Amino acid sequence: MDGQVNQFSFLNSATLYPSIARLSLDDQFFDLCCGVRTPIDGNPPAIRYMPQATYRRYNHDYIDHQYGLRRMHVSAQQSPKYAYFEGKIVPFEQATVSIMNQTFNYGTGIFGGLRGFWNEDEQQLFVFRPLDHFARFLGTARILTFDFEYTPESLRDILLELLRTEGWQTNIYIRPLAYITTNAIGVKLHGLEYSVCMFSIPFGTYLPSEEGAHVTISSWRRVDDNSIPARGKITGAYANSALIKTDAANAGFDDALVLNQDGHISEASAANFFMVRNGIVYTPPISSNILEGITRRTVIHLLQEEMGLSVVERSIDRTEVYLADEACFTGTGVQISAITTVDHRPVGTGEMGPIVAELRDLYHRVVTGRLEKYRHWLTPVL
């Protein structure tokens, strides 16, 4: 547990739990419950003990707030050593753009998100469904009229070269970006030059708890296909996601469900949504302004073919979620994360249900190469 803490979000702790804890960044210590005082930048690294539902942090730190006092692991995010930039692999520090860059100024870029999973037994890093991810990536480029000669296969080969250069032996997140290289003032997509860059970082959990997320219904609406298409990952569109996520976090939730313009459930801030009612699995259709998720597609297949469940893609009303027996988020970042409360209402029993638990286990075995029949979804790196 190395690294340094530089920002924490405390949710009404002084009002709700005045005798439990206080935070002092100036004095560089936490004075938490039980009188534990630990230097933030001290040695040995800190273990923080927190009471149930008191504190949460949202920058890749894990807090298990379900079962009383638990430990929180605080670690600094490890930086990449290399990036793919301007047609070659370079030291990460050299992958820079001008502050006049058109994409930087106007959000006219495309990004992707892939994961690599380390299999300790095989000493192998597997990238999950890279061709599918890059096909979607290039599809979004078509929406923005980016003129590329890249193919899913050529992008996969670039990625493999990058990862072999990095030499990660842990779970990772991979970020490809397509951007306009032109340095100019003026909002447009045509008559410009375009390029692709790529980097990777070690990555663990995305939500504070993947086994019991507490969510709300956002007051924001999902961007509409006739405004900014949500089916692809357009950089500027994620201001919508950021507003949804931050408002949920500031209100004490892990994430939020967001409605489309018709008032039906679309997805989370950056994840697809599934719920179970009476043994049938429901998920919003792609026409509900959702991302056409690769993990979503994977989950539908596993639910149908491996677990024998019916999956129905249809519009979902807000109050249906309150009546769900089980629910979960799916996505490259969140993977499969159980939802256990929505707007302070328990989902089912208020704990992760058997279908989501089985699905999580099945998905983990698939992505780490432990199910032979799905090895074709994995591309080995080493």
Tell me if 63 sits within 8 A of 72, measured CB to CB: yes
Distance from the first to the final alpha carbon of the chain? 28
Give the CA diameter of the chain: 63
For 213-257, how does the pLDDT look when each residue is reduced to its tens digit (9 = 90+)?
999 999 999 999 999 999 999 999 999 999 999 999 999 999 999
Quote the pLDDT of residue 7.
34
Span of 31-35, 310-314, 321-325, 355-359 with lowest mean pLDDT:
31-35
State percent of the chain over pLDDT 90. 76
Give start-end residues of each CATH 3.20.10.10 domain in the chain. 213-367
State the chain's mean pLDDT as an integer: 83
Q: Does domain 82-202 have CATH number 3.40.190.10?
A: no
Cis peptide bond prior to 346, omega within 30° of 0 = no
Quote the pLDDT of residue 13.
32
Report the distance separating Cα 253 and Cα 247, nearest Å.
9
Judged against a pLDDT cut of 60, whether residue 19 lies above it is answered with no
Residue 162 tokens read as 């990058």
Question: How far are the Cα atoms of 175, 196, 216, 302 from residue 341, in angstroms, in the given order?
Answer: 31, 40, 8, 24
Question: How far are the Cα atoms of 31, 58, 195, 200, 381 from residue 81, in angstroms, in the given order?
Answer: 36, 25, 20, 9, 17
For 142-156, how does the pLDDT look when each residue is reduced to its tens digit (9 = 90+)?
999 998 899 999 999
Cross-sheet strand order for the sheet of 29-31: 22-24, 29-31, 37-39
Helix axes 354-367, 294-301, angle to 10 degrees: 110
Its pTM stands at 0.80
Give start-end residues of each CATH 3.30.470.10 domain in the chain. 82-202
Report the distance separating Cα 126 and Cα 91, nearest Å.
23
3-state class of 19 per DSSP? coil
Residue 207 tokens read as 């939500």
Q: Which CATH class is domain 213-367?
A: alpha beta
Tell me if 227 sits within 8 A of 100, measured CB to CB: no
One-letter amino acid for residue 212 of the chain: G
Give the pLDDT band of residue 125 (cuts 50, 70, 90).
Answer: very high
Give the pLDDT band of residue 77 (cuts 50, 70, 90).
Answer: low
**Mean pLDDT on 128-154:** 96
Judged against a pLDDT cut of 70, whether residue 188 lies above it is answered with yes
Reference 205, options 327, 5, 64, 8; nearest CA is 64
**Mean pLDDT on 49-58:** 33
